[in-house]
Structure 1
Amino acid sequence: MWRRLIYHPEVNYALRQTLVLCLPVAVGLILGQLQHGLLFSLVPACCNIAGLDTPHKRFFKRLIIGGSLFAGCSLIVQLLLADDIPLPFILTGLAMVLGVTAEISALHGRLLPASLIAAIFTLSLAGNMPIWEPLLIYALGTLWYGLFNWFWFWLWREQPLRESLSLLYRQLAEYCEAKYSLLTQHTDPNTALPPLLNRQQKVVDLISQCYQQMHMLAANQHNDYKRLLRAFQMGLDLQEHISVSLHQPEEVQKLVERSHAEAVIRWNAQTVAARLRVMADDILYHRFPTRFNMDKQIGALEKIARQHPDNPVGQFCAWHFSRIAKVLRAQRPLYPRNLMADKERRLPLFPALKSYLSLKSPALRNAARLSVMLSIASLMGAALHLPKPYWILMTVLLVTQNGYGATRVRIFHRAAGTLAGLVIAAVTLHYHFPEGFALTAMLVITLISYLIIRKSYGWATVGFTITAVYTLQLLTLNGEQFIVARFADTIIGCLIAFGGMLWLWPQWQSGLLRKNAHSALEADQEAIQLILSDDPSAEKLAYQRMRVNQAHNALFNSLNQAMQEPGFNTHYLEDMKLWVTHSQFIVEHINAMTTLAREHDTLSPELMQRYLESCEVALQRCQQRLEYDESGSSGDVNIMESPDTLSHGPLSTMEQHLQRILGHLNTMHTISSVAWRQRPRHGIWLNRHIN
C-alpha cells in the first residue's frame, strides 16, 4: 500500500511541490517572520515555470542560470522604474532580449516566461523594501528550490523515468487492445482510424519524452538505469510490432467469415494488454516481474494460419504476436540499440542569437507577441489607474500556450477557476478564521490542487486562487478588498492573451500542414531507401523508423490543432485529414518492413532497385503536388510503374508492403491535387515554395 502511495506520480509530485512551497512558510512562522516566509514561497512558482525541477545532468548549472536571470530581471525592473521608464518599455525589452533562450533549446525557452514572472512579482515589491531584498529573496529562493529538488530526486533517483515508462506501457496496452478488439469495424477508416491515431500519437509522444529524459539524465552512463533502459528498448520493440498493419480489410473479413479468427486475435490482444498493464505497475512501483507465457494464444493463431494458408492475415498476426510474446516472456529487447543516437544538440549562444535575429524565427515571433501583449496589459492597467497591474500581467503569461487551441482551453479553465476561487475566498474571509487555521487550510488546499493539476487545471486554479487571496490577506490584512478587482484583472488578462494568439503573428497549424506533410514524406523516403539498401544496419533502421513515426506525429498534431482553429476552409482540412490517414498507413507499413529488413527478409537486388525507384518517384510526385499549384491529375503522365508489373508470381511479405505503399502514395497525390486548390488564398498559403 505504501508503495502505491509514495510512488504514485500524482502523489509524489504533489508532495514535492507542496513541501517546497510550505516549508519556508513554516520556518517563517516559527521565527516570527511569516510575511518573509510567504514572499520566499513565491520563488518556486518562477522555478516551476522555468522547468528547474526537471532532472538534468546539468541540474545545478541550469539552477545558477535561472536564479541569475530572476535576480537580474528584478534588479533591472527596480532600477528602470526608479528612473521613471514606462513599464511597457521595460517588459518589451526584457521579452525581446530573453526570447533568444528558445533558440538554444525548448527547455531553455521556458526561462523566458519564468523570468518575466519574476519581473512582475518585483512590481509588487518595488518601493516596499530595499532594492537588494528582492534580489536576495530570488537568489536564496532558487537555491532552496534547487537543493530541495536535488535531495528529492536523490531519494527517488529513477522515479521521473519510471513514471514516463509506466505511462508508455499503459498507452501501448490501450493501443493494442483498441486496434484488435473490433476487427470487423476497421473496414471504414473514417470511424476506425481516428481513435487509433490518437492512441498512436500518445505512444510516440511518450517515446520521444523518454528519449529526452534519458539524454538529459545521461542515463546510458549510470548503472542504476540499466533495467529502465532495457524496459525502454522493450517498449520500442513492442510499439514496432503493435503498430504494424497489412491494411487488407477485405482479407480480414474473409478470414473472420471462414473461422473464429476474430475471437482468437482479440484473445491475444487482451492477453498482451493485460500483461503490459502489469508491467507498467511493476516499473512504477519497483517490483520484479513475474513469469509470463502466452503459448496457448499463439498456438491458436498459428493453427488458424495453417488452416488458411492462402490468407496472409493469419500468418501476419501470428508472426507479430509471437514476437511480442517473445519480448514479454524473456523480459529483454529483441536486439540492442544505441539509444543516444538521436540526442538533442543545443545551439551555443552566438549561433542561437544569429538564428533568433531572423524574421522567420518562431522564437522571435513568440517573444514579440509576448512583449506586445504585456505592453497592452500594462497600458490597460494604467487606464484603470492601477500603478502595478501585476495580476493582469501574470494572467497573460500563465494562460498563453504554444497554440491557439491550448490557449483557448487554458483561458476557459483559468477564468472559471479564478471566479469560483474568488467567490469561495470572499465567503471564507467574511468569517475571519484564526491565522493557524487559515495556514493549515492553505496547506491542505495546496496539496489537493497539486494532486489534480495535471488532469483538472480548472479545479486546481480554484485552490490556487483561494491560497493567493489568503496570502494577500496575511501580507496586507486587506485581501477581501481585492476580490472583485482580481477577477476583473483575470478577465482582462485572458482577453488580452486570447487576442494576442488570434491576431498577433499567429502560427496557424493549418498553414503548417503542408510543411509538416513534406517533412513526413522526406522521412518516409529516407526510411525506404535504408530498408531497400544492400545491408541495412539494425541501429540505423531503429533510428529512422522512430524519425518516421515522429514526423508523422508532428503532422497529426498539426492537423488536430488546425481542426480547432477559427475561420478556415473546412474542405481543405477534411481533405488533409484523409491525406494524413493514408500517411499513417505508410508509417505502419514502414514499421512492418523494418522488422523484416532486420530479419534479413529482403528482395533480390534487381527487384529492390525497381521498387526503390518507383517509391522515390511516387514520393517526389507527392512532394511536388504539395509545393506547386499546376493543373493536372494523378493519371496525366504514367511516370510510376504499375505495381502489377514490378513482380511476377507470388508476392513476398516485403513486396506486399511496398505495393500498398505505392497505392497509398498514388491516392495521396490525388488528394493533395484537390486539397491544395481548396487552400485559403491569403497569408502563408500564398507562398508557392515550402520554406
Structure 2
Amino acid sequence: MLAFSRFLQRFITDTHVFFALKVSCALVVILLPGLYLDMIHETVAMSLGIVAGAIAEPDDSLSGRIKSLLLTLICFWIATLSVQLLFPYPWLFAAGLFCSTWFFIMLGGLGKRYSSISFGSLLVAVYSMMGAAQAPTIWFQPVWLCTGALWYGFISLCWLRATPNKPLREQLAQTCFSLARYCTQKAWLFPSSADEQPSIHQKLAILNVDCMASINLCQEMIARRTEHPDQELQQLIALQAINEQIHERITSSHYLYNRLKEDVHSNRLLDGFREQLRQLGSAVQQLGYATLMNNHYEVSPGLLWGMQALGDQLQFSHEKTPFSASTVNALRFLQKNLQEIVTLLDHADETINASVKQQNKSHKTNVKSDAISAVQQIWSHLSFKSPLFRHACRMSLCLVTGYGLLALFDIKQGFWVLLTCLFVCQSSYTATRRRLFQRIAGTCCGLLLSLPLLWFSPTPGVQLILMAIAAILFFAQLRSNYSLAVIFITLYAMTAFGLLGIEEKSIILPRFVDTLLGSILSFGAVTLLWPEWQFQRIPELLAKATRCNSEYMKAIVSALQTSNQDSSFNQKRIAAHHADSALAQAWVNMQTDPKQQRRYTKLCAALIYRNHSLLSYVSALGVHQELHGSLFEPQLIRYAEFLFQALDESVAALSGKNNDAPIDLSSLSSLPPTDREACVDQRAGLIQQEMNLIGIMTGEILKLSRLLRPLIQSHGPDKSRFWSR
C-alpha cells in the first residue's frame, strides 16, 4: 500500500498528468450541461475553444496570466470572426490568411508568452474554417469558441491560485533530472580510453543543452513571479541557486581524462570516482522527485560515507605509490568538488533559508530590463536575416498554398490540410522532419482506432464523453510523446466531425490524404523556402562560444588576482554555457539534415568537443572559491593574456577573417613553471594544472579554426549572404 500510494502521488504530481487533469475539469463542466440541454454543437465549439486555450496558455504569475488571458481572448475573437466574415470571399480570405499568419507568428518575437498565444490563435482560425460552413450565424463560432477559451482560462486561474508555484516546482524538478543525467554520463570518463573521449564529450555537450534549457526556463519563470514572493517561492528561488551551483560543479573538469589510465595506476580509485558520480546522479534525481512532490529530502548516508571513503582511498593510493604533484592535486580538488556537491545536497534546507534574501534581490532587478529587451527584440526580427521573419513568411505561404489547393480542386472539408501544416511546419528542418513522421504515423493510428465509431454509431452523449477522454489523453501526452498525442487528437477531431453532422464514413480516407498533402507542403516549404542548414550556423555559433569562453575566463582570472568577483561574473558564466548548448544543439540538428547539406562534419565535431572541454576546464577554476584572491604570478598572467590572444584569433578564423600576426601554436603547448612548488601550495598547483589544460585545448581549437577558415571563406566574401542563404 505504501508503494502504491507513492506511485499514485508521483502520478498525480507528474507535469503532464497535472496539465491533463486541469483540462479535464474544464471539459467535464461543459460536457454535463451540454448533454442535459442537448446543446451538442455549442458544446463541441466550446471544447475546441478549451483545447486551443490550453495550447495557447503561457506560464506566468497570476497577474501575468490574467493579462495573457485577455490578450488571448482578443486574438481568438479577431481570428475566428475574420474567418467567418471572409469565408465567402476566397481572394479576400487568402489575403487575410497570409497577413494574419504572418502577424501572429511575428507576435511570437515578443517572447514565449506571445508565441503560445499566436499559435493558439492560428489554431482557432483553422478550427473556425472547419466549422464555418455549418455555423448558423457569423457570431456562433466567435462566441462559443471564445467562451470555451474563457472558461478554461477561469479554471486555470483558479488552479493557479490554489497551486501558484506548481509550474516552477515542476520545472525545477526537470532541471534536477537533467543534471542527474549529465552526472551519470560523466561517470563513464573514469576511466576511459582516448578513442572513447570524443563520443563521451559530445554526449555531455548534448546533455548540457537540456541542463541549460531547464535552468534558463526556471530563471524566466522566477523573473515573472518575484513581485509578491511567498515563503514557498523564496525556497524555490533558493533551490534554483543550488541547481546552478551543482551544474557549474558537475560540468567542471580537473584533468585531461585520456591520461587518467596512464597517470593513475589505481583502478580501484578510478572505479571509486565513477561510482561516486553515479551515486551523485541518483541523489540529484531523488532531489528532483522530492521537489516535484514537495517532500522532505535527505541525502543517503551511503553517499556521505562513500565520499569520505573516496578521500581515504585517494590518500592511501598516493602513499602506497606516489602520484605526480599535478596528478594528486587535480584528484584532490576533484574529490573536493564532489564533496561540495554532496554538501549542497545534504544541507539543502539550510542553504535555501540562507540564500533567500540574495536571490530575491538579484531577480527583482532583472524584471524591468527583461521587459525592455523583449520589446526591443521584435524590431530586430523585421529583417530577412531573422529566422523568425523567414518562418513567418514560410508559414504564411504554406497555409495560403494549402488553401489554394483546396479551392482549386474543390476539396470538401479539406482544412485538415491547413491543420497539418500548422502543426508540422516548424522553424527548422530538423523539427519539421521529426513532426512529419510523427504526424503521419499518429494520424494513421488515430483513423484506425476511430473505426469502431462507424461500426457501433454511439449516441451523441457517448461521443461527447469519448471526445473529452481523447482531449484529456492528448494533453497528457502533448509535451512528452507527440506521436501518441496525434493519435488522441485525431480521435477527438473525428468525433467532433461526427457531432457536427459530417458523415464519418466519408472522411476517413480524405483525412489521411489531407494529412499526407499537408505534410508534403510543410516539408517542401521548410526545404525550398529560405532553408537554414546547420552547417551555415555552426561556424558562427563556434565563434560566439569561443568568445564567451574567453570572456568567462577573463572574469575568472580577474577573480584569481583579487578576492572580489566582477559584477558580471555570473552573467558571463551563463552566457558561456548558453553558447555551448546552442552549439551542441546545432550539431544534433545537423545529423538530420540532408546528406548534401552536412559539410565538414568531422572538423565541426572536433571543435564542438574541444569547446565543451575548454569550458569545463575554465569552470574548474571558477567553482573553487578558495582559489579567488590567490597570488597569480606574473608569468601566469602573461600566459593568460597569450591564451586570450589565441582565442581572439580563433574567433577571427571562425568568422572567415585572416590574422596578420598569427599565434605560434608551440607556445601554447606548455605552461612556464611557477616559482613555488605545486606540492607545497595545492592552490598554485591546481591553477597551474588547469591553465595548462586550458592552453592545450586553446591550441587545438586554434589549429582546427585555421583549418575551417578557408572553408568558410570559400562561400564568398559577403558573410551575411552566407548566413542568410
Assess same fold via TM > 0.5: yes
Give SS of 2:546's match.
Answer: helix
Cα distance in structure 2, aligned partners of 1:132 and 1:435: 24
One-letter code aligned to 2:57: G
Give the superposition deviation at 1:585.
0.7
**Residue 341 (structure 2) pairs with residue 324 (structure 1):** yes
**Residue 25 (structure 2) pairs with residue 19 (structure 1):** yes
**Comparing 535-544 with 139-148, which one deviates more in the overlay?**
535-544
Q: Is the 8 A contact 1:56 1:216 kept in 2?
A: no
In structure 2, the CA distance between the partners of 1:216 and 1:555, relative to structure 1 (3 Å rule), is same
Name the structure 2 match of 1:124.
Answer: 130
Cα distance in structure 1, aligned partners of 2:377 and 2:553: 33
One-letter code aligned to 2:590: A
In structure 2, the CA distance between the partners of 1:30 and 1:688, relative to structure 1 (3 Å rule), is closer
Match of 1:372 among 375, 397, 405: 397
Q: Deviations over 1:504-542 (max 9, x none)?
A: 112222211122112112211221121112344276433
**Residue 49 (structure 2) pairs with residue 32 (structure 1):** no
One-letter code aligned to 2:488: G
**Comparing 579-588 with 291-300, which one deviates more in the overlay?**
291-300
Match of 2:202 among 177, 183, 194: 194
Q: Deviations over 1:589-609 (max 9, x none)?
A: 122111235652534263453
Name the structure 1 match of 2:686.
Answer: 653
| Within-5 A mapping of 1:548-567 | 548-567=576-595
Name the structure 2 match of 1:64.
Answer: 70
One-letter code aligned to 1:113: F
Name the structure 1 match of 2:99.
Answer: 93
Give the superposition deviation at 1:172.
2.0
**Comparing 433-442 with 261-270, which one deviates more in the overlay?**
433-442
**Residue 268 (structure 2) pairs with residue 260 (structure 1):** yes
Name the structure 1 match of 2:681.
Answer: none
In structure 2, the CA distance between the partners of 1:28 and 1:437, relative to structure 1 (3 Å rule), is closer
One-letter code aligned to 1:668: I
Cα distance in structure 2, aligned partners of 1:290 and 1:617: 47
**Residue 254 (structure 2) pairs with residue 239 (structure 1):** no
Name the structure 2 match of 1:663.
Answer: 696
Name the structure 2 match of 1:503.
Answer: 528
- Percent identical among aligned pairs is 21
Match of 1:154 among 152, 161, 173: 161
Q: Is the 8 A contact 1:47 1:53 kept in 2?
A: no
Q: Deviations over 1:608-665 (max 9, x none)?
A: 5323311220111101111226599977x56966643374554521232222222212
In structure 2, the CA distance between the partners of 1:319 and 1:353, relative to structure 1 (3 Å rule), is closer
| Within-5 A mapping of 1:505-520 | 505-520=530-545
**Comparing 15-24 with 416-425, which one deviates more in the overlay?**
15-24
In structure 2, the CA distance between the partners of 1:639 and 1:625, relative to structure 1 (3 Å rule), is farther
**Residue 331 (structure 2) pairs with residue 304 (structure 1):** no
Give the superposition deviation at 1:182.
5.2
**Comparing 363-372 with 19-28, which one deviates more in the overlay?**
19-28
Cα distance in structure 2, aligned partners of 1:403 and 1:194: 22
Name the structure 1 match of 2:85.
Answer: 79
Name the structure 1 match of 2:9.
Answer: 3
Cα distance in structure 1, aligned partners of 2:55 and 2:503: 28
Cα distance in structure 2, aligned partners of 1:453 and 1:434: 28
Cα distance in structure 2, aligned partners of 1:539 and 1:403: 36
Give SS of 1:604's match.
Answer: coil
Q: Deviations over 1:233-292 (max 9, x none)?
A: 111121121111123235421455235202321332233233223222211111122365
Name the structure 2 match of 1:208.
Answer: 216
**Residue 111 (structure 2) pairs with residue 102 (structure 1):** no
Q: Is the 8 A contact 1:422 1:465 kept in 2?
A: yes
Name the structure 1 match of 2:225.
Answer: 217
Cα distance in structure 1, aligned partners of 2:62 and 2:609: 37
In structure 2, the CA distance between the partners of 1:57 and 1:677, relative to structure 1 (3 Å rule), is farther
Q: Is the 8 A contact 1:177 1:270 kept in 2?
A: yes
One-letter code aligned to 1:452: Q
Name the structure 2 match of 1:644.
Answer: 671
Give the superposition deviation at 1:196.
2.4
Name structure 2 gaps, 5 residues minimum.
679-683
| Within-5 A mapping of 1:466-485 | 466-476=491-501, 478-485=503-510
Q: Is the 8 A contact 2:189 2:257 kept in 1?
A: no
| Within-5 A mapping of 1:104-503 | 104-126=110-132, 128-181=135-188, 183-185=190-192, 187-188=194-195, 189-218=197-226, 221-249=229-257, 251-254=259-262, 256-258=264-266, 260-290=268-298, 292-293=300-301, 294-307=303-316, 308=318, 310=324, 311-312=327-328, 313-331=330-348, 332-333=350-351, 336=355, 338=359, 340=363, 345-347=370-372, 351=376, 354-386=379-411, 389-476=414-501, 478-503=503-528
Name structure 1 gaps, 5 residues minimum.
none
Name the structure 1 match of 2:620.
Answer: 592
Give the superposition deviation at 1:129.
2.5
One-letter code aligned to 1:200: N
Cα distance in structure 2, aligned partners of 1:296 and 1:684: 61
Give the superposition deviation at 1:683.
8.8
In structure 2, the CA distance between the partners of 1:542 and 1:24, relative to structure 1 (3 Å rule), is same
Cα distance in structure 1, aligned partners of 2:398 and 2:601: 30
Cα distance in structure 2, aligned partners of 1:75 and 1:438: 28
Q: Is the 8 A contact 1:104 1:347 kept in 2?
A: no
In structure 2, the CA distance between the partners of 1:648 and 1:56, relative to structure 1 (3 Å rule), is farther
- Flag the structure with more relative contact order, 1 or 2, with Cα contacts below 8 A and sequence separation at least 6: 2
Cα distance in structure 1, aligned partners of 2:464 and 2:412: 29
User: What is the root-mean-square deviation of aligned Cα atoms in Å?
Assistant: 3.0
**Comparing 579-588 with 659-668, which one deviates more in the overlay?**
659-668
Cα distance in structure 2, aligned partners of 1:573 and 1:565: 12
Cα distance in structure 1, aligned partners of 2:396 and 2:267: 65
Q: Is the 8 A contact 1:618 1:640 kept in 2?
A: no
Q: Is the 8 A contact 2:475 2:485 kept in 1?
A: yes
Q: Deviations over 1:527-582 (max 9, x none)?
A: 11211123442764333222211111011111111221114454512211110100
Cα distance in structure 2, aligned partners of 1:683 and 1:464: 47
Q: Is the 8 A contact 2:653 2:708 kept in 1?
A: no
In structure 2, the CA distance between the partners of 1:623 and 1:541, relative to structure 1 (3 Å rule), is same
Cα distance in structure 2, aligned partners of 1:289 and 1:354: 46
Cα distance in structure 2, aligned partners of 1:641 and 1:587: 17
Q: Is the 8 A contact 1:628 1:688 kept in 2?
A: no
Count residues with an aligned counterpart: 690
Q: Is the 8 A contact 1:214 1:220 kept in 2?
A: no
Q: Deviations over 1:455-514 (max 9, x none)?
A: 322122122212211111112152221111111111111110111111111222221112
**Comparing 498-507 with 541-550, which one deviates more in the overlay?**
541-550
Q: Is the 8 A contact 1:399 1:407 kept in 2?
A: yes
In structure 2, the CA distance between the partners of 1:100 and 1:579, relative to structure 1 (3 Å rule), is same
**Comparing 422-431 with 594-603, which one deviates more in the overlay?**
594-603
Q: Is the 8 A contact 1:627 1:688 kept in 2?
A: no
Q: Is the 8 A contact 2:555 2:566 kept in 1?
A: no
**Comparing 515-524 with 327-336, which one deviates more in the overlay?**
327-336
Q: Is the 8 A contact 1:103 1:355 kept in 2?
A: no
**Comparing 10-19 with 598-607, which one deviates more in the overlay?**
598-607
Q: Deviations over 1:165-219 (max 9, x none)?
A: 2222222223222212451225332232233223222222211121122122237
